[in-house]
């Protein structure tokens, strides 16, 4: 599939600037925008939402994935959902670099997962650097949390509301703040 090949090329390419890839990106993005608008502008049954998500991602989405609308994605084709996932309303996926959500994940309202970053140099600021995000099994991302490019959220980890995660989160911990820091370990009760 061209979109999957595109993701691989984007991640392998350190910096994307003035590239032919931009035309491919904009074409996929334009098609995704139409689907997102249709998804978010009227009532849909759970089965219809699942169908839209499958069309947006270009992959089958398990019926156990539950998404409260509105849902936002700029690119769409680089999202992979596991099973038994709950995504609350107003969650944004900037997925050009790839977002994987494993089984049993919870994502709170207003959370943002952003795989794209602009360059620091003012002369190159329009350039992009992308890196994937992975949310491991049974993790919980709190309301309004932001997960930045290249981050893995460990299994069973909790990202507190309003946290900004700039580096990997180990399994079985709670992180909070901006930038997010570990505040405690999760002890099985």
List pLDDT tens digits, range 34-78. 999 999 999 999 999 999 999 999 999 999 999 999 999 999 999
12-16, 32-36, 62-66, 176-180, range with the lowest pLDDT: 12-16
Q: What is the mean pLDDT of residues 2-8?
A: 62
At 22, list the tokens.
């931009």
The domains located in the chain, with CATH, are 1-183 (2.160.10.10)
Instruction: Name the band, by pLDDT with cuts 50, 70 and 90, for residue 23.
Output: confident
Q: Give the CB-side neighbour count of residue 132, counting CA atoms within 13 A.
A: 18
Q: Residue 183: which residues within 8 A CB-CB, separation 6 or more?
A: 160, 174, 175, 176, 177
Q: Residue 51: which residues within 8 A CB-CB, separation 6 or more?
A: none
Q: Return the C-alpha torsion angle 13, 19, 25, 26, nearest 10.
A: 160
Q: What is the mean pLDDT of residues 157-173?
A: 98
- Kindly provide the b/e burial profile for residues 108-130, where b requires at least 16 CB atoms within 10 angstroms of the residue's own CB: bebbbbbbbbeeeeeeeeebbbb
For this structure, is 118 an active site residue? yes
Q: According to the model, what pLDDT value does residue 18 have?
A: 60
List pLDDT tens digits, range 90-135. 999 999 899 999 999 999 999 999 999 888 888 877 778 889 999 9
Residue 31 CA to residue 42 CA, distance in Å, equals 18
Q: According to the model, what pLDDT value does residue 1 have?
A: 47
């Amino acid at each position: 599939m061209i979109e999957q090949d595109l993701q691989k090329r984007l991640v392998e390419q350190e910096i994307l600037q003035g590239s032919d890839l931009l035309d491919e990106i904009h074409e996929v993005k334009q098609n995704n925008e139409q689907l997102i608008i249709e998804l978010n502008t009227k009532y849909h049954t759970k089965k219809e939402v699942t169908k839209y998500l499958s069309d947006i991602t270009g992959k089958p989405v398990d019926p156990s994935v539950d998404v409260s609308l509105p849902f936002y994605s700029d690119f769409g084709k680089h999202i992979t959902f596991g099973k038994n996932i709950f995504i609350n309303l107003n969650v944004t996926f900037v997925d050009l670099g790839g977002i994987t959500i494993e089984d049993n994940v919870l994502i709170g309202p207003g959370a943002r997962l952003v795989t794209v970053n602009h360059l620091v140099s003012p002369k190159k600021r329009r350039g992009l650097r992308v890196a994937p995000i992975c949310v491991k099994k049974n993790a919980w991302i709190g309301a309004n949390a932001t997960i930045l490019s290249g981050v893995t959220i460990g299994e069973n980890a909790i990202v507190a509301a309003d946290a900004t995660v700039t580096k990997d989160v180990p399994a079985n911990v709670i992180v909070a703040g901006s930038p997010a820091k570990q505040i405690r370990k999760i002890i099985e009760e």
